Amino acid sequence: MRGRQIGFEAIGLALLLGGCSASTEPREKPLPVVEAVLPTMGADDGTADGSFPVRVLYDREVAVSLRLGGTLSALPVHPGDRVPAGALLAAITPTLQAEAERKAAADVGRLERASRRNETLLPAGAVSEAQREDTTSALAAARATLRAARYDRASTSARMPFSGLVLARMHEVGETVSPGEPLLRVADVSSPLLARAAVTPAIAMRLPLGTPVHLVIAGHGDVMGKLLRKASLADPVTGTLDLDIALPAGRGLLSGLTGSMVLAQGGTGGDGGQLTIPAEALLDAEGQKGHVFVLDPQGSVVRRTAITVRGLVGDRIAVEGLAPSARVITAGAGFVRDGQKVRVDAR
């Protein structure tokens, strides 16, 4: 029995050692599975060739209004007038404000006299320290009221904020206007002329700043501008974004002219031959610089590749820096590293 027991123990030890040796053998890790696609030329996002209305305006145009409402008593300028900075543009009848200023000034004068009298009588004990302090506090309040009254009186007129041009006049003398209601529109003629167009967000996103823009302006024909800036907030009613287009000097353009912005296929003014990739292929982006993983056909490894991002085209990204034959990694790109071997999903 003893020998049989030892035999069983030996067999068990052998099986245990065999199992351990089998478990310590290195196993080959499965390759990450990714999806790879080819870039495409352009994309159909529903924005075909077309034109968008534009309006010419100065970069600095403001609507002139009054802080207070009332009856207009002066409106001495007309559209087309050149007006120096500080010149009177509009005024309302200041009856109430003038009376409030006079009353406040009278209160200040009365309390100033009382304050001087208190300073004379205090050493003799004819007034108390408390009376003097009360008069001093009342004088400070009256002076604050006078400053507010003078501000209201000054707010009954509007003056030219800069040397410029009167573009429009919305009211006439004798009309009653509300606080903040626009009375005139004026422009700083030292600021540049722009053309402003409202476009869909998809078009705005794929037009980089500095893009040449083809315009047709009424009475002036074809004009080539350059995209200066894009609005960062869409219009809450139309959902469009404003584009400001810098205009060339010396063309005799005027604020208020209308025209159209003509876009070629793709909305970039070019030939529509830009490469686009799925948005999920983009690993990171800083400004117009970004990276994607490209599949190296030699050995099926991924290579981190720098690209230039040119904007959105529908739900895809327009890029530069890729060959048309480059297969970019989409699904699985976030789980691999540069130089890693992968298996491409054959679906």
- Find the CATH number of the domain harbouring 308: 2.40.420.20
Strand partners, 157: 91
16 domain-assigned: no
Predicted local distance difference test score (pLDDT) of residue 270: 41
The two structure tokens encoding residue 41: 């030329």
149 domain-assigned: yes
Same domain, 100 and 124: yes
Residue 307 to residue 284: CA distance in whole angstroms: 10
Going from the first residue of the chain to its last (347 residues), give the mean pLDDT of each consecutive group of 10, the final group possibly shorter: 51 52 56 64 49 91 95 96 96 95 96 93 88 94 96 96 95 95 95 91 83 87 90 85 90 88 57 68 76 76 80 70 76 74 65
Nearest CA to 159 out of 78, 63, 87 is that of 87
For residue 54, what are the domain limits? 50-59+192-263
Residue 102 to residue 207: CA distance in whole angstroms: 59
Helix (H, G, I), strand (E, B) or coil at 272: coil
Same domain, 103 and 250: no
14 domain-assigned: no
Nearest CA to 95 out of 70, 76, 75 is that of 70
The two structure tokens encoding residue 251: 């063309």
Predicted local distance difference test score (pLDDT) of residue 19: 53
278 domain-assigned: yes
Nearest CA to 199 out of 228, 241, 262, 245 is that of 241
25 domain-assigned: no
216 domain-assigned: yes
Predicted local distance difference test score (pLDDT) of residue 150: 96
Predicted local distance difference test score (pLDDT) of residue 318: 77
6 domain-assigned: no
Same domain, 181 and 281: no
Same domain, 80 and 102: no
Number of separate domains in the chain: 4
Any idea what the CATH number is for the domain that residue 82 is in? 2.40.50.100
Any idea what the CATH number is for the domain that residue 224 is in? 2.40.30.170
Contact 62, 160 (CB under 8 A): no
Predicted local distance difference test score (pLDDT) of residue 134: 94
110 domain-assigned: yes
